[in-house]
Amino acid sequence: MHRSDEPAIREISVADKEAGPYGIVAGPDGALWLTFTHSGRIARLTLDGELAEYPLDSRVCRPAVITVGPDGALWFTRSQDHRIGRITTRGEAQSFPVPTPDSGPFGITAGPDDAVWFTQLNTDRIGRITGTGEITEFALPVEGAFPSAITTGPDGALWFTLNQANAIGRITADGDTVMYPLPTPGAAPVGISSDGAALWFVEIAAGQIGRIAVDGGIKEFPLPDRTARPHAIVAASTGDCWFTEWGANRIGRITASGEIAEYDLPSPSSEPHGIALGPDGALWAALETGGVARVAP
């Protein structure tokens, strides 16, 4: 049964299971840009469903998260061959090796300083890359922390999840770091997003959504289904965040007061991963089984 206030959800097939749509972002050209993590491609999807695919120089580089850089190009992590990729809106691609071997770059975001910042899953580092490909790395004061997603906060610092250290980290453009432990043990935070006032993140192992203020105060909001495995989160506006439930085949929404609504995706077991606010004001999620979902509030 559908309530009148439920969003309209439409799925669009963009690939097969072998491609694995994973990361998604709205580009500066009014289209959606996706990573195809299994086939080593970047894809561009227009709002009317026109798809273009750009093969990268390695089929097995595993492109993961994608963001718009300060230069108007799309920047993405290549988690398997440990490079940072860049592609223009015309489809011209290049990549840059991360200095530390086997670093496993994953999360990526435009920084407050005309550079792009990224996490290194395997080496407990945060990286910074300039528009010309110069990389600086900042070692974190923890081991085996698995830094995952990263975003620029409302305070002009970079905020990131420490999946295995059960904490949220903050790093300034100068490299000063602070760690904020989570109240719930073993929560395993992944996605993080700024709503302009605070940071919101998901706890994939605890089935909760968290909110951290820039002063480090944390609130946690349990999902109705604690086994839903929330994965990525994006703010549509202040106090209005949307997230993917990878384990429950749903898209969720949380308000500033912690009110949660959840919506089933049409296709079963579609494995929703990345989520982005589209140029049309709808939410768009990448489905690893080969599609995207458009959620119109």
Out of 2, 38, 82, 273, which one is annotated catalytic?
A: 273
Query: How far apart, in whole angstroms, are the C-alpha atoms of residue 176 and residue 50?
Result: 44
108 exposure class (CB count in 10 Å sphere: 0-12, 13-18, 19+): buried
271 is in an annotated binding site: yes
51 exposure class (CB count in 10 Å sphere: 0-12, 13-18, 19+): middle
User: Could you tell me the two tokens for 193?
Assistant: 């997003």
Backbone angles phi, psi at 186, to 5 degrees: 60, 30
What is the DSSP code (8-state) at residue 7? P
- Alpha carbon 20 to its chain centroid, in Å, reads 15
38 is in an annotated binding site: no
288 is in an annotated binding site: yes
Matching residue, tokens 């002063």: 215
CB 138 within 8 Å of CB 177: yes
Q: Which amino acid is at 112?
A: P
2 is annotated as an active-site residue: no
What is the DSSP code (8-state) at residue 135? E
Which DSSP string corresponds to 221-250? EE-SSTTS-EEEEEEEETTEEEEEETTTTE
**Can you list the positions of beta strands (E) in 7-50?**
8-13, 21-26, 32-36, 41-45
What is the DSSP code (8-state) at residue 61? S
Would you please indicate which residues are annotated as catalytic (active-site) residues?
273
Give binding residues as ranges. Answer: 231, 271, 288
Question: What residues are designated binding site for substrate?
Answer: 231
- Summarize the annotated binding site for Mg(2+) as residue ranges: 271, 288
